[in-house]
Chains A and B, each alone.
Chain A
């Protein structure tokens, strides 16, 4: 029932789109027909576009996201743990992390291009810098919010001081960290398209950018749909990860 309703909504949108295209209120360069986009899907999947197939573009973007997020999440957890546990570091680093977090990632893309050129490096750095602050802030807050009883219980059970952070503090903070990771991946995902405006081929953002230059609106629309769908898929995977990692979320314990 639910699935049928959702499917119906998608079909309805497609129908509206087709009708608008048929009526030719706007030329095809503004509103391409669904069939044209479908043709582009087949063509880019087989012949490719700008020298790479659709899958090639998508994989290049996903690779950047995965790399940037891995570094960003790893760095964010370590940084958040340090900020949360060491008061001096909190005073030193908190303003910096907050500053970077409020910046739109595109604001420092130019700087990264100057530093790292126009290859893969600045893109991965950009995603790293986009993904790190949400994780760092979430981790720092969660670490400070761990109830003393948990720490005291562990100490009473013979846990050594250096065991406490990874045996008790990090797992206790896991729900908030995973939430931070979901935010981080979302930010990285929206940023990757921007990052690919500079020498972004292969890459789904680069593909859209190239198509825009040549007014190939059907490719642009195709790119947008692919970006949207893969974003949904990534969020679904993260939700599954959330349930696996923190099955106790929201339960009274």
Chain B
């Protein structure tokens, strides 16, 4: 039976958590959390380490089941990981025995070869890795590795892209570039993004909506849309600071 406050013709949220809690060995890690992420949204989750952010992501990804409550993806309960929800980890976690192309094509193995090649080429172009197709992960720079990991996660055309502090291990310069690139990818693909970070600036400049998590057990303490206006102001402030720093350095 549908809940009374929902209209029958309403399209289900890309991700929905209903009264979700997660307990690790008697230690409550998350919840209860209620959260709906409409399709196409770029949601950032910010909070200190250990607050339950990663738990939230692993529940949505299907890596772990909720202790109570339900996680829905496109209206259907999540029972495990699947290609409708791509995941990018803090470390790129590329398969070192496969080339960049091989990694990107990992989730496309069941497609006919011609289509797979075309899709891999498309993703290489999308992430600026055309010249790295044959390289192995250990031959790439940190930023290129994380781009390849994003391309790999996007390959099966997931509806949702789950990112767990994906730029946390990168240097500041690369991180800024990658932030711009992920915004572009989000715009061009229309994928729904759930982006976890402990960096407040990253949370408020990247997302269209921010939730703050405090815990453990993690609970949503703030849920606010990010206005284009605010983002532009923050971005401008960062640019000014960066150019001032560059000016001071020269």
Interface residue ranges, A against B (CB under 8 Å): 147-150, 152-159, 168, 171-172, 174, 247-248, 251-253
Residues of A with C-beta under 8 A to B156: 157-158
- In the bound complex, what is the Cα–Cα distance between A172 and B96 (angstroms)? 8
Contact A157 B106, beta carbon cutoff 8 Å: yes
Could you say which of A147, A158, A168, A251 contacts B107, with CB atoms under 8 Å apart? A158
**CB within 8 Å for A152 and B87 given contacts A157-B107, A247-B136, A252-B138:** yes
- A247-B138, A248-B136 known; 14 other A-B pairs, CB under 8 Å? A152-B58, A152-B87, A155-B81, A156-B61, A156-B153, A157-B86, A157-B155, A158-B107, A168-B95, A171-B97, A172-B95, A174-B97, A248-B138, A251-B138
- In the bound complex, what is the Cα–Cα distance between A67 and B34 (angstroms)? 61
Contact B87 A153, beta carbon cutoff 8 Å: yes
**CB within 8 Å for A150 and B93 given contacts A158-B156, A253-B137:** yes
- In the bound complex, what is the Cα–Cα distance between A149 and B91 (angstroms)? 9
- In the A-B complex, the 4 residue pairs with the smallest Cβ-Cβ separation, listed nearest first, are A157-B107, A248-B96, A155-B81, A251-B138
Shortest Cβ distance from A250 into B: residue: B138
Contact B82 A156, beta carbon cutoff 8 Å: yes
Contact B86 A156, beta carbon cutoff 8 Å: yes
CB under 8 Å from chain A, chain B span 76-90:
80-83, 85-87, 89
Total interface residues on B, using CB and 8 Å? 31
29 contacts between A and B (CB under 8 A): A147-B93, A148-B63, A149-B91, A153-B87, A153-B152, A154-B106, A155-B80, A156-B61, A156-B62, A156-B82, A156-B86, A156-B87, A156-B107, A157-B83, A157-B106, A157-B153, A157-B156, A158-B82, A158-B107, A158-B109, A171-B95, A248-B96, A248-B97, A248-B138, A251-B96, A253-B92, A253-B94, A253-B138, A253-B145
- In the bound complex, what is the Cα–Cα distance between A152 and B85 (angstroms)? 11
- In the bound complex, what is the Cα–Cα distance between A56 and B215 (angstroms)? 73
A249 to chain B, nearest CB (A): 9
- In the bound complex, what is the Cα–Cα distance between A150 and B107 (angstroms)? 13
In the complex, how many residue pairs between chain A and chain B have their CB atoms under 8 Å apart? 69
Indicate if B110 sits at the interface (CB-CB under 8 A).
yes
Contact A158 B110, beta carbon cutoff 8 Å: yes
- In the bound complex, what is the Cα–Cα distance between A92 and B97 (angstroms)? 32
Scoring A148, A156, A171 by chain B CB atoms within 10 A of each residue's CB, the highest score goes to A156
Contact B63 A150, beta carbon cutoff 8 Å: no
Could you say which of A155, A171, A248 contacts B137, with CB atoms under 8 Å apart? A248
Residues of B with C-beta under 8 A to A156: 61-62, 81-83, 85-87, 107, 153
A101 to chain B, nearest CB (A): 28
Contact A153 B89, beta carbon cutoff 8 Å: yes
Shortest Cβ distance from B98 into A: residue: A171
Residues of B with C-beta under 8 A to A251: 96, 138
Interface residue ranges, B against A (CB under 8 Å): 58, 61-63, 80-83, 85-87, 89, 91-97, 106-107, 109-110, 136-138, 145, 152-153, 155-156
Shortest Cβ distance from B104 into A: residue: A157
**CB within 8 Å for A253 and B81 given contacts A149-B89, A156-B86, A156-B87:** no
Shortest Cβ distance from B83 into A: residue: A158
- In the bound complex, what is the Cα–Cα distance between A252 and B155 (angstroms)? 25
Residues of A with C-beta under 8 A to B109: 158
A250 to chain B, nearest CB (A): 9
Shortest Cβ distance from B61 into A: residue: A156
Residues of A with C-beta under 8 A to B97: 171, 174, 248
Residues of B with C-beta under 8 A to A152: 58, 61, 63, 81, 87, 89
- In the bound complex, what is the Cα–Cα distance between A147 and B96 (angstroms)? 13
- In the bound complex, what is the Cα–Cα distance between A212 and B156 (angstroms)? 68
- In the bound complex, what is the Cα–Cα distance between A252 and B139 (angstroms)? 10
Could you say which of A149, A155, A248, A252 contacts B93, with CB atoms under 8 Å apart? A149
- In the bound complex, what is the Cα–Cα distance between A11 and B92 (angstroms)? 52
Residues of B with C-beta under 8 A to A154: 106
- In the bound complex, what is the Cα–Cα distance between A23 and B118 (angstroms)? 78
- In the bound complex, what is the Cα–Cα distance between A150 and B137 (angstroms)? 14
Shortest Cβ distance from A248 into B: residue: B96
Residues of A with C-beta under 8 A to B137: 248, 253
- In the bound complex, what is the Cα–Cα distance between A161 and B71 (angstroms)? 22
Residues of A with C-beta under 8 A to B63: 148, 152, 155
- In the bound complex, what is the Cα–Cα distance between A153 and B95 (angstroms)? 10
- In the bound complex, what is the Cα–Cα distance between A247 and B98 (angstroms)? 11
- In the bound complex, what is the Cα–Cα distance between A154 and B63 (angstroms)? 11
Residues of A with C-beta under 8 A to B136: 247-248
Residues of B with C-beta under 8 A to A149: 89, 91, 93
Residues of A with C-beta under 8 A to B86: 156-157
